[in-house]
């Protein structure tokens, strides 16, 4: 059946291509390739190369160079672009713009990166740990002991991590794919893109030990996240006594940004107490231009967005040593972010048939948001010193997001005479509670390492959305657009892994099973719109990989893992950030 389907589709495509006029195929995809080296001409493997559109500097694709320093972008539409290459410890390089013709195989000039002499002169690098380690199952950007150990935030460090791109909207892209799951100290973060970026801006590089980039996670990791996982591993000071760090930062572009953070650690032979506090403030101004055509009318919207909002993050924990083989850990974190943004947009509306301006829409949106998050963890780790380890975790996460907006719209005719006004307001609080228990065990087996573990988690979300028409001083509830949505999801998972090596070959195998039970309940003001979706299913996620190391600094990797994408909890009943009544983001 599959072969017949493929044959039929191929025949139809062939016929269409032969019969269609040439104008039907206005463009064909092009490719962009090139090489990145150091100043001596030696290839730089694991360097990050990003392809940008020249028109608006938006990210088109991202890639990581291979061991030969080569990169390749495929399926690129004709147009004008430029490239940016970066690597830890080297200055970033931007190419001149270039134009791609249809079906062109463009080979970019070799990019030679130079060592960042200024950064190297400011920081004394100790130890022999490589800045970037390419391991069989992940790539590690080591922060401590490198030039990145001070002066950067976690979000800025992610921009330097191999294969990672952070676009202008703070979306994190890994190997050209969206949907990356970000872990902090091995715990997945359920935050929205906006909240996650704000929290990462409060996290200083002095708190971070390393950033692990896992493009094909094995069975030990949760199956969610088709783009892979980024784990931010936080620093634990191992020296005895008391240590303290303080960071102050200030920046000014079009608007000012500032921050302060402090960490402390006290360790003796019986216990360790640690903590950190960070504050981040400032203002931002951005611009959006939207031009669209609909029903023979053009809408040319120009918007100016001004935003501000302080962020506060607190982290306090302790490790208690039980003999020489066990550690009990307690950890609590808190995060508060108050955000406000105002949008002023101006939209001329033109009748394309007569080429006359029909009306002008002036809109102003005032939005207030707040995030209140708290997490709590209890951990027990046992290591008998012979390679047998056991780890147990209990986690609770409580998250609250509030979003409220006031959105007036005023229409004027072509002579600038007011003709209509529509004023709206909305309120959309969201509460998320996450409870999880996990157990992992590893031991030597048959010359390799065997691992197994289980995890049970439950998530409950309560999303409320209220939309109002504003008439004078009265708010009238719009029952067609207002609702409540509650969602409960329980996942029980188990996995087994095995890894070993033979000479210059390393390999791993794994299988993860997840049983999911979920229930979504939509409650509307019209009973006919009520809806309940109840699902239960079992799924299996195999994984495997092989690494060949022909030389000390060369290796070839082949990894496979089956994964899935789940919607973020905030998107189950999303809040619309309106630019005007005709557009939102």
| CB < 8 Å & 24+ apart, contacts of 528-534 | 529/483
* CATH number of the 27-115 domain: 2.60.40.10
Question: Alpha helices of 115-273 — where are they, by DSSP H?
Answer: 117-122, 154-160, 193-202
- H/E element, 122: helix 117-122
Token code pair at residue 345: 């947009």
- Model confidence pLDDT, tens digit, residues 526-568: 777 678 889 999 999 999 989 888 776 567 888 888 888 777 7
- Our measurement of the distance from residue 406's CA atom to the centroid of its chain's CA atoms, rounded to an integer in Å, reads 29
Instruction: Please state, for a pLDDT cut of 70, what percent of the chain lies above it.
Output: 88
Question: Alpha helices of 457-513 — where are they, by DSSP H?
Answer: none
Give pTM, 2 decimals. Answer: 0.74
DSSP state of 193: H
The confidence score (pLDDT) of residue 1 equals: 35
- For residue 124, give every residue at least 6 positions away whose Cβ sits within 8 Å of its Cβ, in sequence order, or none: none
- Model confidence pLDDT, tens digit, residues 340-370: 889 899 999 999 988 888 899 999 888 888 9
Pairwise CA distance, residues 190 & 568, whole Å = 7
The confidence score (pLDDT) of residue 327 equals: 94
DSSP state of 19: H
The confidence score (pLDDT) of residue 59 equals: 67
The confidence score (pLDDT) of residue 393 equals: 95
Token code pair at residue 71: 């990169």
| Cα maximum dimension of the chain | 85
The confidence score (pLDDT) of residue 480 equals: 87
The candidate with the shortest Cα–Cα distance to 154, out of 103, 104, 197, is 197
Pairwise CA distance, residues 455 & 493, whole Å = 5
Give the phi and the psi of residue 286 in degrees, each rounded to 5.
-140, 165
| DSSP bridge pairs for 332 | 316, 376
Rounded to a whole number of angstroms, the CA Rg of the chain reads 27
- For residue 222, give every residue at least 6 positions away whose Cβ sits within 8 Å of its Cβ, in sequence order, or none: 181, 188, 455, 493
In contact, 435 and 407? CB cutoff 8 Å? no
The confidence score (pLDDT) of residue 24 equals: 35
Pairwise CA distance, residues 381 & 486, whole Å = 36
- Model confidence pLDDT, tens digit, residues 187-198: 888 877 778 888
Domain residue extents for the chain? 27-115, 154-584
Weakly modelled stretches of the chain, pLDDT under 70: 1-28, 59, 116-130, 145-149, 529, 552-554, 569-577, 585
In contact, 484 and 501? CB cutoff 8 Å? no
Token code pair at residue 328: 């009990």
The candidate with the shortest Cα–Cα distance to 173, out of 48, 34, 289, is 48
Pairwise CA distance, residues 187 & 455, whole Å = 12
The confidence score (pLDDT) of residue 95 equals: 93
Pairwise CA distance, residues 113 & 160, whole Å = 14
Mean pLDDT of the chain: 83
The candidate with the shortest Cα–Cα distance to 392, out of 326, 333, 450, is 326
- Model confidence pLDDT, tens digit, residues 44-77: 887 888 888 888 777 677 777 887 889 988 878 8
The confidence score (pLDDT) of residue 4 equals: 33
């Amino acid at each position: 059946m599959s072969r017949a389907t493929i044959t039929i589709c191929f025949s139809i495509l062939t016929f269409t291509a032969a019969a269609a006029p040439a104008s039907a195929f206005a463009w064909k995809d092009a490719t962009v390739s090139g090489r990145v080296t150091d100043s001596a001409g030696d290839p730089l493997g694991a360097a990050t190369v990003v392809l940008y559109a020249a028109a608006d500097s938006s990210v088109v694709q991202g890639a990581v160079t291979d061991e030969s320093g080569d990169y390749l972008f495929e399926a690129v539409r004709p147009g004008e672009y430029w490239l940016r290459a970066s690597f830890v410890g080297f200055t970033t390089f931007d190419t001149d713009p270039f134009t791609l013709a249809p079906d062109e195989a463009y080979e970019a000039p070799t990019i030679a990166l130079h060592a960042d002499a200024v950064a190297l002169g400011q920081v004394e690098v100790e130890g022999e740990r490589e800045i970037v380690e390419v391991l069989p199952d992940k790539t590690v950007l080591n922060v401590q002991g490198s030039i990145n150990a001070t002066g950067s935030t976690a979000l800025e460090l992610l921009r330097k991590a191999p294969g990672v791109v952070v676009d202008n909207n703070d979306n994190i892209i890994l190997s050209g794919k969206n949907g990356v799951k970000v872990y902090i100290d091995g715990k997945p973060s359920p935050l929205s893109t906006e909240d996650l970026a704000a929290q990462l801006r409060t996290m200083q590089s002095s708190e971070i030990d390393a950033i692990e980039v896992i493009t094909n996670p094995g069975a030990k990791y949760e199956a969610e996240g088709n783009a892979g996982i980024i784990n931010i591993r936080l620093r634990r000071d191992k020296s005895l006594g008391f240590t303290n760090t303080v960071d102050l930062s200030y920046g000014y572009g079009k608007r000012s940004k500032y921050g302060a953070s402090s960490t402390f650690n006290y360790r003796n032979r019986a216990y360790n107490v640690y903590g950190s506090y960070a504050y981040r403030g400032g203002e931002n101004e951005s611009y959006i231009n939207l031009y669209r055509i609909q029903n023979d009318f053009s809408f040319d919207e120009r918007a100016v967005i001004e935003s501000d909002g302080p962020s506060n993050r607190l982290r306090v924990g302790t490790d208690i040593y039980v003999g020489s083989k066990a550690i009990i850990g307690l950890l609590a974190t808190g995060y508060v972010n108050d955000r406000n943004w105002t949008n002023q947009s101006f939209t001329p509306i033109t009748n394309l048939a007569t080429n006359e301006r029909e009306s002008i829409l002036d809109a102003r949106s005032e939005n207030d948001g707040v995030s209140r998050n708290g997490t709590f963890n209890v951990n027990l780790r046992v290591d008998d010193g012979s390679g047998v380890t056991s780890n147990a975790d209990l986690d609770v996460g409580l998250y609250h997001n509030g979003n409220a907006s006031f959105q007036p719209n005023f229409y004027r005719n072509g002579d600038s005479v007011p003709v209509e006004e529509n004023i709206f307001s909305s309120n959309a609080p969201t509460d998320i509670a996450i409870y999880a228990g996990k157990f992992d065990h590893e031991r030597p087996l048959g010359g390799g390492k065997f691992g197994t573990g289980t995890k049970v988690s439950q998530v409950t979300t309560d999303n409320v959305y209220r939309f109002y028409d504003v008439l004078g001083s009265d708010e009238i509830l719009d029952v067609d657009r207002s609702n409540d949505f509650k969602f409960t999801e329980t996942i029980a998972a188990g996995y087994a892994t095995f890894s070993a090596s033979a000479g210059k070959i390393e390999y791993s195998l794994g299988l993860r099973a997840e049983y999911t039970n979920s229930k979504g309940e939509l409650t509307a003001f019209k009973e006919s719109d009520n809806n309940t979706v109840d699902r239960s299913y079992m799924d299996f996620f195999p994984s495997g990989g092989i690494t060949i190391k022909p030389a000390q600094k060369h290796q070839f990797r082949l990894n496979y893992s089956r994964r899935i994408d789940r919607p973020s909890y905030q998107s189950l009943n999303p809040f619309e950030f309106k630019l005007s009544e005709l557009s939102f983001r």
